[in-house]
Amino acid sequence: MGHTATAQAASGGLTATEHRLANGLRVVLSEDHLTPVAAVCLWYDVGSRHEVKGRTGLAHLFEHLMFQGSHQVHGNGHFELVQGAGGSLNGTTSFERTNYFETMPAHQVELALWLEADRMGSLLAALDEESMENQRDVVKNERRQRYDNVPYGTAFEKLTALAYPEGHPYHHTPIGSMADLDAATLEDARNFFRTYYAPNNAVLAVVGDIDPEQTLAWVEKYFGSIPLHDGKQPPRDGALPETMGGQLREVVEEDVPARALMAAYRLPHDGTRESDAADLALTVLGGGESSRLHNRLVRRDQSAVAAGFGLLRLAGAPSLGWLDVKTSAGVDVPDIEAAVDEELARFAEEGPTEEEMERAQAQLEREWLDRLGTVAGRADELCRYAVLFGDPQLALTAVDRVLDITAAEVQAVAAARLRPDNRAVLVYEPIAAPEAGNEEEEEAGQ
């Protein structure tokens, strides 16, 4: 078979085994006969952090190109075959990976494996100028819809550029720029595929109502003959100092419905105890309607209509604590900012209460179990831990690690990181509407 199996690990009755084909493809299987469905998830170790200046957006563009046909599956055939078999499918791109996934009736798992193998092994045979132009236009339109033409749509891109300095591999977002999307050539796309879409740069997880021996035989049958590729270069170093050493700030005047305060705090890398502690801190401070910031800004002061604080986990660079506050009518951003800083300072000095710790840990535990409780969510987490941390078994014990964090650790990370000198700030100011009289004068003069 050209594979070796690792020992099983279990958490809450969940198990997973890991295997490796001779061409380097890592395979993770998790058997679960609760329902007659199964998930196939394929992670490639490529994201926007692997891109170079002038060619941003290639990873995301290629996610779309992977649905444009391969040697034996033409046009929109991948969607048609999966959906015709009663399954669902999609793909996503992030800073650190690109993933593709199908959830299928259990008896249709072989179809999903064949489809994924066909495009991994033969996409170049179908990649031409027509499909390139088609998907380039799709991605550009997606950028318009999600970033350029929606209220606050530019926030993620602007804050990321502030939080990570020019030249840093995380300085740009996966969507890429319009100019770079226009500049990408068919040969750029072909080289990108050859470099990153190889079995030795991927992890395949199959989870659900499967026969592991039969599933592994199918994986070997369809993926085993795909050659490996050794040309991949490691991503550029994403290391940065623990704190920003000052506050970065940008004011944006746009057509938005209300003033907004957004901020990104530099936090520990994913996969560390400090990152789990930071997640708990942000949950206490801004995770839902029981959080401190919601209680202070929305309920008590009524100075905001929404206030949230969440963690963008990143393994290859410092993670970001993402603050998002939309103000109430007539409220100035400095007042909101002063209240936020007051709450963060109080939390850093006092730490979470016992009740807040229990609630935050229960909230994160529920979120983790929700993910692991579905075949698709578990497959995705097994791939994530295999690609980013080298060990898929870590996905099955993540809940235990969150529950092991102490209040002192939560307080410590808040005191060290949730400070005004460790954030990038984005302030949205609505563009004032022109007076009706001026509009009438302009129309009359035309």
- Strand ranges across the sheet with 98-105: 9-11, 14-20, 26-31, 202-208, 37-44, 98-105, 88-93
Q: Is 63 a catalytic residue?
A: yes
CB 143 within 8 A of CB 178: yes
Indicate which residue of 18, 51, 63, 381 is catalytic. Answer: 63
Torsions phi, psi of 150, nearest 5?
A: -130, 150
The pair of three-digit structure tokens given for residue 191, joined into one six-digit string: 């080289």
Which segments within 150-283 are labelled E, that is strand? 202-208, 246-254, 260-267
Amino acid letter, residue 296: R
Residues paired with 252 in a beta bridge: 428
Pairing of strands 202-208, 26-31: parallel
> Could you tell me the CA-to-CA distances from 371 to 281, 366, 396, 404 in Å, in that order?
21, 9, 11, 19
Signed CA dihedral, 170, 171, 173, 179: sign only: negative
CB 50 within 8 A of CB 192: no
Q: Which residue has the tokens 């060990």?
A: 391
CA-closest candidate to residue 278, choices 237, 310, 307: 310
Pairing of strands 88-93, 260-267: unpaired
Would residue 355 be called left, alpha or beta, if left means φ above 0 and alpha means ψ between -120 and 50 degrees? Answer: alpha
Q: Which helix (H) or strand (E) holds 89?
A: strand 88-93
* Active-site annotation, residues: 63
